[in-house]
Structure 1
Amino acid sequence: MIRQRAKSFEVRADAQDDFNQHTQKVMQDMVWTGTCRSWYKQGTSGKVTGLWPGSSLHYIQVLAEDRWEDYEWTHESERYSYWSHGLSWIEEPGLDPLGATKQNMIEAMTTLPKKDSDLSFYLWESDTLPETCFPSGCSEEIAQDGGDLVWKNVLQTATSVDVDNHAAVACITVPV
């Protein structure tokens, strides 16, 4: 939107109508449409408002898929003016109003599933933290406990002003 110099955009009326119809159809068999009073339907009956028609993960996944065709766009000038002189912003970085640094940051912050993620696509494996991130006196033990892998992290915490010295034990059990 920044690169294309979009001035404004708004949801098209037909897209909003389709979304509303879809939402009410999905909601008709959910608890929100029961006979109890609820602010979700402004009383005991009526159109359900204020909820996404699905789970939280479903909401995140749907928002990750841009549907730009559902919007009316207004541009600063004609819509293709950002094509400029026929050179890519990679060839002429100064032509990029967004900047390559910001573009790299945006790509790193995507909500799309990564290759090493599971159903919780917002969680993925990463590099181990450097030793400097842990307090001194940290030791790790790995042991088997009835078929489960148990990781124990024993910390000895000592502050530079010697306020309090104590040991904390955290135990995480992971099914194997």
Structure 2
Amino acid sequence: MAAIGVAVLLRPHPGTAPVRAPTVSPQPLVPVVPAESSPRREADEGVRALLTRGAEAVERGAFGEAASLLRQATKLAPRDPEAWNGLGVALVSLGEVAAGVEAFRRAVRLQPAHAEAERNLGVALDRQGKLREAAAHYRAFLSLSTEGHPARTDVRRRLLEISSRKGDE
């Protein structure tokens, strides 16, 4: 299954330049799925379908629909970091930033090396004005993402802006 990338342009904090985030990239839940039909395989396919439909809804700007689909995915697969990351994207896009922060935190707890969830958490915290905490997650994103990642330049620029501010939180 090909990954579907969806990027949403968010303003981290009023009056700042936008940072390109968050991204939802559904991946298969199980690396090797048995060829024969099984309840587990059908459940995995159901979750993948919800992740894909949720990502497509985000791409269309249908954030309420995306949140509904991705909530279903988190209920079916509560240990799937992509489901939580995707839900966070939808929630932040709906303006439910605090709920989005919690979804991103869950994704990071489930997969500590999840670069996108780290960046998304940084953006959401930044939007809440929690600059120190946002900066820590931006730095985690930079340490986890590949050098060619398209968001690295924006994240580096935002870190410079944050470090030049005297007040925090």
Larger Rg: 1
Taking structure 1 as the reference length, what is the TM-score of the superposition? 0.20
Q: Whose relative contact order is higher, 1 or 2, with alpha carbons under 8 Å and at least 6 apart?
A: 2
TM-score by length of 2: 0.20
Q: Larger % of helix: which?
A: 2
